[in-house]
Amino acid sequence: MFSWLGKQGGGRERGGGSDVVQTVTGGLRDLYLRKLLPLEEHYRFHDFHSPALEEADFENKPMPMVLLVGQYSTGKTTFIRYLLEQDFPGMRIGPEPTTDSFIAVMYGDSEGSIPGNALVVDPKKPFRKLSRFGNAFLNRFMCSQLPNQVLKSISIIDSPGILSGEKQRISRGYDFCQVLQWFAERVDRIILLFDAHKLDISDEFSEAIKSFRGQDDKIRVVLNKADQVDTQQLMRVYGALMWSLGKVINTPEVLRVYIGSFWAHPLRNTENRRLFEAEAQDLFKDIQSLPQKAAVRKLNDLIKRARLAKVHAYIISYLKKEMPSVFGKENKKKELISRLPEIYIQLQREYHISAGDFPEVKKMQELLETCDFTKFHSLKPKLIEAVDNMLANKIASLMSLIRQEESNMPTEIVHGGAFDGTMAGPFGHGYGEGAKEGADEDEWVVAKDKPAYDEIFYTLSPINGKISGISAKKEMVTSKLPNSVLGKIWKLADCDGDGMLDDEEFALAKHLIKIKLDGYELPGTLPSHLVPPSHRKPLQTAE
């Protein structure tokens, strides 16, 4: 069954960083097969929670996946096209519910699509276990392949637009939330998209979000089409969105919400252009970092799975222990199912387990209804000890290998498509703004405001063309910036380090104060284009 077990990465091979990758993935695979899988099989974990992991889940180079979820016409498919900067097979965009299938957008040497039934029998793709959702789902599942630079680093899962009403849930023919949960357990990032004009969370969308329970660290929220409202309306929309999410996602932490208009069209309202650019840059950085964190994510997911498997074993073995040996089995079963919340609390106290590690009570009760408790197994301490040993010792050694991989290999980020459009050139984020203003100009950028700064300078009674630190402080504190910031500005402006400022250094200090007051960050060291003209030659000589 596991003929590939012998391939786990214990030996060293050529390839440097790739050797470490093979060791990490091989180590994860070996730990799962020897330590965790026996526990899962013994207590029927796969019937209650998640199918067994297989070889494709431990591929040598983990490919990060991003899952997009949202109600219809929130811009999910358009968002993918925006990132890729090209159409992909199976893409349909429109104001009506267009995407009616799950589409895995992945890299391929040639453009084409693979239908769901063929996709789930491909051992090289991590979708084999999706076959359990039946033909109704597989007919609505496909893989779209194309040669795109972005897809060399990440894969993207587009999901059907969510509608409201009971009819939509029934007409799908498969358990939509169960499919979402399957993907959520395996992807690296879950992006919930909202339309600035459509903030209501339908019943099905609410159930979909709840199916992501336990994956909160993967969730990000995008408030799309934000250019269609003005600043005042945007504040109200953002507040309404946070209120709506607070009712569905039961977590004290506030979700990160990215605000913008993610498509390649002119902004309808340019009031918040700078905000949209900054938000898009933050979202791009988050997505670009996924390849670096892929190995850590796999390790983290295995730890979460192991903790859940342990809790499941305690629940099943407790139910087995409480069952009578001869009479009254059915009545006892009903009693135990109804008492499941109390059993959770009892197990928490007995085994010192966090409440957050337990599966959802309602879902567990529904699954237990169809089970024969007499076929459950009693607690086997050796199986639990094996998993505890894995969590306490083996995982730590794999973590050190991952750190070694990160230090030895070049930083891997997502390239291509929209990601390259913000990296360099005059349209890169922050180009020509703040401390970067005037970087490509011959004239000193401070010169245009220097006459106004000179007027202030000469009111401070300079001696031999310079003012003292005390005189400069009196003027600089009027900005109301904290002393820590003003101290940094002083160090940057005092180019010759004599503890005094001449007229050019004072003008530079005022310019840096203006940069900070405008909301930009100060540079760590003074850029060459900001060095006052009279101080440039000595600096060059020093070099």
- CATH number, domain containing residue 325: 1.10.268.20
Domain membership flag for residue 24: no
Q: Percentage of the chain surpassing pLDDT 90?
A: 51
Q: How confident is the model at residue 364, as a pLDDT? A: 94
44/72 same-domain check: no
213/105 same-domain check: yes
Query: CA quadruple 45, 46, 51, 52: dihedral positive or negative?
Result: positive
Kindly state the average pLDDT of the residues 387-397.
Answer: 87
228/367 same-domain check: no
Domain membership flag for residue 427: no
Rounded CA gap, 470 and 127, in Å?
Answer: 69
Q: How confident is the model at residue 408, as a pLDDT? A: 66
35/165 same-domain check: no
Domain membership flag for residue 358: yes
Rounded CA gap, 386 and 39, in Å?
Answer: 9
Domain membership flag for residue 152: yes
Instruction: Supply the pTM of this predicted model.
Output: 0.73
Domain membership flag for residue 15: no
Burial of 84 (0-12, 13-18, 19+ CB in 10 A): buried
Kindly state the average pLDDT of the residues 322-346.
Answer: 91
Burial of 221 (0-12, 13-18, 19+ CB in 10 A): buried
Tell me which of 289, 315, 345 is where a domain ends: 289
268/144 same-domain check: yes
Strand, coil or helix: 281 = helix
- Provide the CATH number for the domain around residue 227: 3.40.50.300
Rounded CA gap, 314 and 378, in Å?
Answer: 9
Rounded CA gap, 87 and 257, in Å?
Answer: 26
Direct distance between the N- and C-terminal alpha carbons of the chain, in angstroms, rounded to an integer: 66
Tell me which of 263, 289, 315 is where a domain ends: 289
403/448 same-domain check: no
Q: Is the pLDDT of residue 2 over 80?
A: no
Q: What is the pLDDT of residues 67-82, one digit of tens each?
A: 999 988 888 989 999 9
217/366 same-domain check: no
Q: How confident is the model at residue 539, as a pLDDT? A: 42
- How would residue 1 be classed by pLDDT, with cut points 50, 70 and 90? very low
29 vs 365, higher pLDDT: 365
Tell me which of 289, 311, 330 is where a domain ends: 289
Q: Which of 30-39, 181-190, 288-297, 502-511 has the lowest mean pLDDT?
A: 288-297
381/511 same-domain check: no
Domain membership flag for residue 456: yes
Domain count, the chain: 3
Domain membership flag for residue 137: yes
Domain that holds residue 483: 434-535
Domain membership flag for residue 192: yes
- How would residue 499 be classed by pLDDT, with cut points 50, 70 and 90? very high
190/284 same-domain check: yes
209/312 same-domain check: no
417 CB contacts (<8 Å, ≥6 apart)?
83, 84, 85, 86, 148, 149, 150
243/360 same-domain check: no
Q: How confident is the model at residue 274, as a pLDDT? A: 85
Burial letters 423-434, b for 16+ CB under 10 A, else e = eeeeeebbeeeb
For residue 325, CA distances in Å to 26, 42, 150, 276, 429 come to: 44, 20, 60, 66, 70
Closest by alpha carbon to 396, among 265, 310, 483, 299? 299
457/490 same-domain check: yes
- Provide the CATH number for the domain around residue 449: 1.10.238.10
